[in-house]
Chains A and B, each alone.
Chain A
Amino acid sequence: AQSVTQLGSHVSVSEGALVLLRCNYSSSVPPYLFWYVQYPNQGLQLLLKYTSAATLVKGINGFEAEFKKSETSFHLTKPSAHMSDAAEYFCAVSDLKDSSYKLIFGSGTRLLVRP
Chain B
Amino acid sequence: EAGVTQFPSHSVIEKGQTVTLRCDPISGHDNLYWYRRVMGKEIKFLLHFVKESKQDESGMPNNRFLAERTGGTYSTLKVQPAELEDSGVYFCASSQDRAPRSHEQFFGPGTRLTVL
Contacts and interface: CB of A to CB of B under 8 A. Distances in A.
Interface core residue of B98, B105, B108 (most chain A CB under 10 Å) = B105
Contacts of A45: 107
A43 B91 contact: yes
B44 interface: yes
Interface residues on A, range: 20 to 34
A44 B107 contact: yes
Interface string A77-115: 000000000000010001010111111111110000000
Interface in B17-68: 33, 35, 40-45, 48, 55-56, 59
A104 B104 CA distance: 14
Contacts, number: 63
Given A105-B44, A107-B41, A96 B107 contact: no
Given A46-B104, A49-B104, A102 B56 contact: yes
Contact of A101 (B41, B44, B103, B110): B103
Contacts of A98: 56
Contacts of A108: 42-43
Contact of B109 (A4, A32, A42, A102): A42
B46 to A, nearest CB: 9
B93 to A, nearest CB: 8
B44 A32 contact: no
15 contacts: A42-B109, A43-B108, A43-B110, A100-B33, A100-B55, A101-B95, A101-B100, A102-B45, A102-B56, A102-B59, A103-B33, A103-B43, A103-B45, A105-B42, A107-B42
